Chain A
């Protein structure tokens, strides 16, 4: 039965519907692996006992349910009714919501079963999953004898999918938090257009950038999962009412004549040769598929990272003000209200979260607002405009997902700037609100996965999924993991 966890989401649901195996059999194969994979530290909470009860209620005749019987763990940033939701922070260590996020509700409505909540960087702030109050997540890929970070912030999600601990998952992406860990672990990660999925019930990091999205074993799974979680939500004023799309049904590897842009500004200084080569390979594959390649310019790219590291902390500093110890979550005592706040927040938040709250508070302060926040918003508009201009000529943009393969623990922990540089290829899509997909292409000389990123027009996830699908058929990437931790 063990090999059931090797199946993709689409294969799993098809198998259940065609009664090749039962939902319980699928669940127990995941349960078995989860139990033997504690070392990876992917889960903050497991809900397997509950899942076993739920799975018995499944009616296999319900052929219309897209995720019938699929066991799915989700990032611990999604509020789940009666299941602890921590955002990987001490300040929410014992917080149990009474409500279910819109995105996760859509999963359960389509027959999926919650099996647990996945570790991530604290409040999604980090690129290595090293900021979690619940400890590091370990990448199922290894550099020789040394363990590696899974990327972040959705590191638990990425490792869990890569190590077959969940059939698929949903993460969130504010500056690359889906795509970078997906790249580090050899899976597919998709950040949809801003406004495509509801943010209601997701612990907020930076409201104007946050988007939920699928992290899956392959492109088909991402198309299916996106179809389920997308949609307008009247409870989220920034969600956008567009026609529902059938990403899965419309998936096609036919990309002949498609125009692909290669932005020259993404060829950054000191880019490792393996990344440069990877990019060239990607271009070649697309040419072979009949696509037309164009060199394009996104001139404001170099300002994207500083812009992101002003806007995201600014919003976060305000979004996280509600964790004050008054109504829920962790509370430390104090002689008066101010001292209670100070004790609660200085002990409840970790260093990276505090660093970003301080940066955010600073850039919004009177006297600095114009120089930082306002200027960053202006640059953000210019970055958006760069993309608008390019998308008049091309249908999709191809870049590397990350400037390197997965790195070692502690390698960048004490150097925030070099850590922030990890987001260099991913933040632009968040700033411009565009859909972007990361998909694994090959393994490097150390047997670590390397991925490329596809950026699309607003609400045109279909095109990047199709291009990704075409590439996937060509490269036939297979994760190469030895289960060394078991």
Chain B
């Protein structure tokens, strides 16, 4: 928390600051498309989910899908943004083979959601990132260029699928902040169930706008836009490359061309796609097939009232209710599944233990196994049961780690594992005394050293006793007894 922000790039002559704004394209979670009733399921055979409207047959007209509007409003509320009761669908005109209408229906001058903000938990404190707007638009189809040596194929399954374009203000200053921003937006949308945030399937993609300026400068430099980057890692790499490219140019006394660039993931570089002069003139105008969208206040209010608890609210509650640190609460609420998992384990065992174990061994093991919470081998019940065994001193923390490893393998109830393997903690004073006596007897030289002042050896005795007990002796009892015997 007390670290300072430090992402400044040192050029040959100057120190530079990087200015980043993001346009996130998030596919709305809905069964039907934005203006037609065809399915939006991922992975279907090409051209199996295409209505007459999606294929832009003559005389076909769009009809707005009310559910998609609700999803956009929900997301807007999740971004603490203003919901506009009046918005307009515009046509963005351009020709491409996978754009059947010859225009994309989007929102230009009057988006459904206006300004908002999200908070990022950075190591140097909370950072506020402004949201410029959120608007609705249709996705295009997909061109397949690798199916035939001479022909291109078109798959229109995606044509007409509803997207939300979330435009940030140029408030981001480092690749790390960009990563956190994407994660935060994704987390909010997953909490709201408005977008699954699946970047591999393309349901979350982003265009990145980057410019640089000398540290201390007030004015923005000329920006470049990097199109369609589909992973956080690539976004961060692209930003680093692009920022350095711009700094080099500026330090050589050259200027930046405002242009659209493409990020090549294999070569880790950005390349010019088209310059400002070649930019399309999209000839935006209000779509005459659709009336302006006017929302009743009560409609918005109803959605507001039904909003679930959002990540920031949950985080605050975890801090207050469970006395978690800001960091712990942020990690545990980053996604809803983790938060739910934690809460259930904590309620059925112990908050402190649940926090330590979930953020420690549990996350580490999921990472190692490349699994998510939903398919974790360790269930809420079993983890709570394990933690209760620790809490009630039936097993020690050390034994618990062993049991945990076994649970990962055979997914069994830890109580059964503990009983079966005889791992129950030894708390019987007489039994432990016997072991202590044996250890002291075997190490008389060390006892003499200890008594002559080498108190550091106490740890050695504790360890030896625990080892002799095969880990079952209760460390607390061992401590107390050893202290008495050695005094």
Contact = CB atoms under 8 A, between A and B. Distances in A.
A87 interface: yes
B61 A99 contact: no
Contacts of B56: 322, 327
Contacts of B101: 321-322
A375 to B, nearest CB: 13
A342 B91 CA distance: 22
A314 B285 contact: yes
B16 interface: no
Interface string A65-83: 0000000000000110000
B91 A318 contact: yes
A206 interface: yes
A216 B470 CA distance: 102
Interface in B70-107: 91, 93, 95-97, 100-103
Contacts of B58: 79, 85, 87, 92, 95, 97, 203-204, 322
Interface stretch (B168-176, B219-227, B288-296, B376-384): B288-296
Nearest to A199: B61
Contact of A337 (B97, B284, B290, B291): B97
A328 B57 contact: yes
A98 B56 CA distance: 13
Contacts of B100: 322, 326-327
B64 A237 contact: yes
Contacts of A366: 281, 283
B59 A318 contact: no
A199 B62 CA distance: 11
B285 A203 contact: no
A235 interface: yes
B65 to A, nearest CB: 12
Interface SS of A by simple majority: loop
A187 to B, nearest CB: 25
A326 B288 contact: no
A338 to B, nearest CB: 8
B63 interface: yes
Contact of B281 (A79, A101, A365): A365
Nearest to A240: B291
Query: Which interface residue of A92, A206, A208, A326 has the most chain B CB atoms within 10 A?
Result: A326
Interface in A67-126: 78-79, 85, 87, 92, 95, 97-99, 101
A324 B62 CA distance: 19
A201 interface: yes
A315 B289 CA distance: 10
A204 to B, nearest CB: 7
Given A237-B291, A322-B102, A327-B100, A200 B61 contact: yes
A203 B59 contact: yes
B52 A364 contact: no
B285 A318 contact: yes
Nearest to A340: B97
A369 interface: yes
Contacts of B64: 237
A315 B93 CA distance: 11
Nearest to A202: B59
A108 to B, nearest CB: 16
B433 to A, nearest CB: 85
Contact of A373 (B63, B95, B285, B290): B285
B66 to A, nearest CB: 12
Given A208-B288, A318-B283, A237 B57 contact: no
Contact of B102 (A97, A238, A314, A324): A324
B55 interface: yes
A210 to B, nearest CB: 9
Contact of A235 (B61, B95, B290): B61
B369 interface: no
B250 to A, nearest CB: 29
A322 B96 CA distance: 10
Nearest to B98: A326
Contacts of A326: 97, 100, 154
B427 to A, nearest CB: 74
Contact of B288 (A97, A206, A327): A206
Nearest to A208: B288
Contacts of A203: 58-59
Interface in B256-308: 281, 283-285, 288-291
Interface string B31-66: 000000000000000000000100111111111100
Given A324-B102, A365-B283, A366-B281, A79 B288 contact: no
B288 A361 contact: no
B361 to A, nearest CB: 55
Interface residues of B, number: 30
Interface string B356-384: 00000000000000000000000000000
Contacts of A78: 59
Contacts of B93: 317-318, 321, 364
A250 interface: no
Contacts of A92: 58
Contacts of A207: 288-289
Nearest to A85: B58
Given A99-B52, A314-B285, A337-B97, A321 B103 contact: yes
A236 interface: yes
Contact of B59 (A79, A321, A327, A328): A79
Interface in A199-242: 199-204, 206-208, 234-238
A341 interface: yes
A82 to B, nearest CB: 14
Interface in A123-176: none
Nearest to A79: B59
B289 A364 contact: no
Contacts of A97: 57-59
A201 B289 CA distance: 13
A318 B57 contact: no
Nearest to B143: A337
A85 B58 CA distance: 9
B299 to A, nearest CB: 17
A324 B91 contact: no
B16 to A, nearest CB: 33
A364 B291 contact: no
B414 to A, nearest CB: 58
A199 B281 CA distance: 29
B61 A236 contact: yes
Contacts of A318: 91, 93, 102-103, 283, 285
Contacts of A199: 59, 61
B96 to A, nearest CB: 8
Contacts of B289: 204, 207, 237-238
A366 B93 CA distance: 12
Nearest to B52: A99
Nearest to B280: A366
A321 B95 contact: yes
A369 B55 CA distance: 28
A204 B59 contact: yes
A329 to B, nearest CB: 8
A454 B57 CA distance: 35
Contacts of B103: 318, 321
Contact of A237 (B55, B62, B285): B62
A337 B57 CA distance: 20
In the A-B complex, the 6 residue pairs with the smallest Cβ-Cβ separation, listed nearest first, are A321-B102, A207-B288, A364-B283, A208-B288, A322-B56, A201-B59
21 contacts: A78-B59, A87-B58, A200-B61, A201-B59, A202-B59, A203-B58, A204-B58, A235-B63, A237-B289, A238-B290, A238-B291, A314-B285, A318-B283, A321-B101, A321-B102, A322-B101, A326-B97, A326-B154, A337-B96, A337-B97, A369-B283
Interface of B: 52, 55-64, 91, 93, 95-97, 100-103, 152, 154, 281, 283-285, 288-291
Given A203-B58, A327-B154, A364-B284, 16 more contacts: A95-B58, A200-B59, A201-B60, A206-B288, A236-B63, A237-B291, A318-B102, A321-B101, A321-B102, A328-B57, A337-B96, A337-B97, A361-B283, A365-B281, A369-B285, A373-B285
